[in-house]
Structure 1
Amino acid sequence: MIAGSDCRLHAPTRPTRDPFSTEARPMEPRPLEHQVAGHDGVMTVDGGELIVKPCSETEKDFYEQTVAHPEFQLFMPHYFGMLNLSEDQSFAQDMLIDNSEHDHTMTTHGTASEAPIPPSSHPPAPGADLTATQELSVQRAVCIENLLYGFSKPCIMDVKMGTRLYDDNATEAKRNHMIAKANESTSGSLGICIAGIKVFDEVQKEYIQYDRSFGYQLTDDTIDKGFCAFLPRHMNSGYREFLLKEFTLVLKEMCQMVKSQNVRLYGTSLLFVYEGDAERRERILAEDNDDKSDEDIDNGESEAQPTVKPQDPSPQSTRPDSSQLVDSSVASDPETEMSMEDDDSDDEDDENDKMLYDLRIIDFSHASWSPGLGRDEGFLVGLKNVQAILQRIL
């Protein structure tokens, strides 16, 4: 039974290199392999550590303005900057590749009963046509952290958040259309709608995918089944309990953070990720337990003490305190500085090697900072309902 672990990740992991530096590797764009929702054209670069995706002006502005909101940055992918795709037409053309061509062995489910149905036979999911109010431009792309990097068999769930599915630029016709869509799904009542799920089946050795029509057909009474598709009851019970508790801790911290922000998060999603590779999971937990045992022995504690312990759920706990700051006289030595950078790189690589899960807010094409207007109540409704669902299926 997993009671808790230091193998947790709920604050951003930073890639070890600046993608715009002269020392960075060539971009070598590849279509994002594991994508369960959103638009085509998302690419991975720099060995998979980074994502490049076409973006709207609103999304660009949101990322750039978020620099002034460090508390929020902890719960979103790290932003590196913008790319001008017009400078490389071949890259721009690659951005338009349909990523569905790059999926491997996979079973797709389209309904709550898990019966495969052609996607064309379903109405679009709420929020699927949000971009109708704002054209995406392939000339500009945002460069951000790839949250799936480091996972062997990432299991993913995209949950569209909020009771409102349109932004302030929507026409009256579009506004009425999106209100109707919200009322036809769990978005209007619960502030959440599952946009897509992809889980790795250890028995069949293949991915099982639930498309957006699966989430669109869920109701207030069946929404728990959707979350159980992402965290099935037949998976390792200890690991499942661990993930449910860890996700809940992150959601509580996220809720407190959003309450303090003047922001509108229309059209955003929560991206849940966990490791679906049982061998990698067991290796990480075994190494973590060995490390704990060594620490207990060094401290004179009994080896019978628990070796897997819960952590403070606060993302801020991952930030360095004053005792971790480097003395300037030491850092001024080039050789020492280079050695320290190498150590930092090794530490980040080690942390990536121990990643078991992640949870962030993504998709900011219709989000905006709203000074003086208070918090996004519709988003908070969704957060609270996700927490309630995780508690019910625990």
Structure 2
Amino acid sequence: MASTASNAKPLKSQVGGHAGVLTTEDGSLIIKPALPLELEFYQTVQQSEELEHLSMFLPSFIGTLTLEGEIDEKKSAELGNISVNPVDAPQRDETLVKVYDNITSEAVNTPKSYGKSIKPTDLPDGIARFFPVGVPLPQEGEERPAAASTTGLPVQTLLSILKGIHEEVTEIREIFSELEIRMVGGSLLIIYEADWKQAEEGLKKLDDDQEGEEDSDQEDDEDDQGEEDNKRLGPPYAVKLIDFAHTRLTPGKGPDEGVLLGLDTVIKLISGRIGQLEQHSQDYL
């Protein structure tokens, strides 16, 4: 029996890059047009022992999609791809989502022109803008201080997240120092949880996983709801390398000095923000 695949639609949460990224109606898949070289790179990573350590910092690559009409489930399995019904993506101004407003629960958009016009001396301010310190939401009947930000996380939560991001970017830098590839126009994607409760719970779960403190002898009749909640709890942050349309292996040519310089700059900026937050924390003790 034929099944109707979900309609593809524009990805509303797209934060940059070229227009045209789609998602399935149920949000389970993101569909991004890829150039042949980018597809080749993802396939190479899956087969290369040399790039094995890099794969943990790449988006999960599960294959390709054919964007056309309906298809039988049997035929879909034989082809090894999925067919969906695409729709035209409307034209829109490009913006970058920087942060999350805890009052409105909406993303706070920063125009892409900001990133294009920023000067090297302004980079620390740009990092602070992306990693702001939040204040507790006012209780009913209370007034919010005029200078209080509606975005950002508590300073200690933000510090923990930044230190974790710093470790992962540093690890990526170490991996690239031993790889002979050229990555032109690539990007470092950094995402973190902006909801206070979710961020704190995500950090706690991460600590439990890393320290091996989770009880491995849980009873079979463990509360199903608790288990389901644990599955829904996402990581407090993620660091990924993206955009490989102009990436290629270059055996014998050494590491990509341009990528190393860029990663060094990111590491320096994050270190500076950590220092600011540690000082901020001390000022309020």
TM-score (norm 2): 0.69
Q: Which runs of 5+ in 1 are unaligned?
A: 1-23, 101-118, 121-194, 290-307, 318-345
| TM-aligned CA distance change 1:347 to 1:38, over 3 Å | farther
Distance 1:389 1:84 in 2: 41
| 2:119 aligned residue | 219
Deviation at 1:48, TM superposition (A): 2.6
For 1:44-193, what aligned pairs fall within 5 Å after superposition?
44-45=23-24, 47-67=26-46, 68=48, 69-85=51-67, 91=84, 93-94=86-87, 96-98=88-90, 100=92
1:245 alignment partner in structure 2: 163
CA spacing shift, 1:25–1:247, aligned 2, 3 Å? farther
Counterpart of 1:372 (choices 238, 252, 269) is: 252
SS for the counterpart of 1:48 is coil
CA distance in 2, matches of 1:57, 1:349: 39
How far apart are residue 393 of structure 1 and its match?
1.3
TM-fit CA distance, 1:75: 0.8
Within 2, Cα distance between the matches of 1:238 and 1:99?
40
Matching residue within 179, 182, 203 for 1:261: 179
* 1:311 to partner: Cα distance: 4.3
Which amino acid is 2:57 matched to? F
Q: Does 1:31 align with 2:29?
A: no
The verdict on how the C-alpha distance between 1:99 and 1:81 changes in structure 2, with shifts beyond 3 A counting, is farther
Matched residues in 1 for 2:91 and 2:237: separation?
23
Counting only pairs closer than 5 Å after superposition, residues 296-311 of structure 1 correspond to structure 2 as 311=210
Of residues 364-373 and 267-276 in structure 1, the stretch that sits farther from structure 2 once superposed is: 364-373
Would the alpha carbon gap of residues 276 and 264 (structure 1) be closer, same or farther in structure 2, given more than 3 Å must change? same
Q: Which residue of 2 aligns with 1:362?
A: 242
TM-superposed CA distance for 1:278, in Å, is 2.3
1:281 partnered with 2:199: yes
What do residues 70-118 of structure 1 show as CA deviations (whole Å, max 9, x unaligned)?
2121110011112233567x95642x41385xxxxxxxxxxxxxxxxxx
Distance 1:288 1:358, change over 3 A: closer
Contact 2:6–2:84 (CA under 8 A) maintained in structure 1: no
What amino acid maps onto 1:202 in structure 2? N
Letter in 1 for 2:90: D
Q: Which residue of 2 aligns with 1:43?
A: 22
RMSD: 3.5
1:205 equivalent in structure 2: 105
Matched residue type, 2:269: I
SS class of match (2:160): helix
Secondary structure of the 2:23 match is strand
What whole-Å deviation, never above 9, does each CA across 1:238-286 have from its counterpart, x for those lacking one? 111111101100011111111121211111111111112224334546x
TM normalised by structure 1 equals: 0.51
Distance 1:379 1:36, change over 3 A: same
Select the structure with the greater relative contact order (CA < 8 A; seq sep ≥ 6). Answer: 1
CA distance in 2, matches of 1:97, 1:361: 25
The structural deviation recorded for 1:368 is 1.4
Of all paired residues, the percent bearing the same amino acid is 28
Cα gap change, 1:268 to 1:262, in 2 (>3 Å)? same
Alignment: residue pair count = 229
Q: What does residue 383 of structure 1 align with?
A: 263
Q: Which runs of 5+ in 2 are unaligned?
A: 71-82, 135-151, 213-225, 275-285
Maintained 8 Å contact 1:199/1:230 = yes
Q: CA offset at residue 288 of structure 1?
A: 4.2
The code of the aligned residue for 1:377 comes to E
